[in-house]
Structure 1
Amino acid sequence: MTIELSLDRTATLAQTVHIQSHTLVSDISKAEGGDDTGPSPHDLYDAALGACKALTVMWYARKKGIPVDDIHTRIERDATEERKGIYRLRATLSVQGRLTDAQLQELQAVAQKCPVHKLMSTVTTEITTTLGRLP
């Protein structure tokens, strides 16, 4: 899959992000020199974790017949030591439904195994960057 980005000409630095049939904007805050027209790349990174955990729990609950009626996910970031190589994310998931304590524990274990959590914590990501001229 390819994700394409282009300069959003209505803002100073913002990027229009095209992912399959979806379009969104990413920007940086006004304090950082942007226009704050969309979530920052860090926000998107953090949101990917939250979305993955929620989607994984909901998918699993439906597959196993666990009665989850609603889910709310909160991601808290502590980037105070990012330059030292430590980036902390705290994910809190709250579910609604008639669940037993055993089902809650089962869903907790599933949330820990979402694919983005694994990517962020156990996989080595190799990135190749090239820069060229536009025609």
Structure 2
Amino acid sequence: MKKKLLAWAVTASLLTGGIAGTAAEAMQSDETPMFCSIRAMGGQNRNYFVSDVFWGDYGNNLQYKNRFAGWVNANYGSMGGQYASYCWYGDDEDAAYSKRDRVIHEERSSGNNVIMTNWGA
């Protein structure tokens, strides 16, 4: 009986993407390391806000973008509705932090004022 259950479990695992799963499956769970950012677009404002890395569901990234934008507006003052928000994910926590560090470096190199926040969903 145990052998049949084990064989069934292995077959089910292979049919659903293997034990490790795929990046697409990871993006659809609450276990995806992510971060969000917002670029203020109004006038001379060169602020670029970056969240901390948090665990979330990348399939709901619009929800995280909106929540982060609301939080930034409440804590740093209104951006006047002129902003662009983004959320990214990494395959693991280290990859998410590395990607966030690259984004921060690119924004600073472009002359933007990067503001690190401790926001996490």
Instruction: Return the TM-score normalized by structure 2.
Output: 0.25
- Greater relative contact order, per chain length (Cα 8 Å cut-off, separation 6+): 2
TM-score by length of 1: 0.23
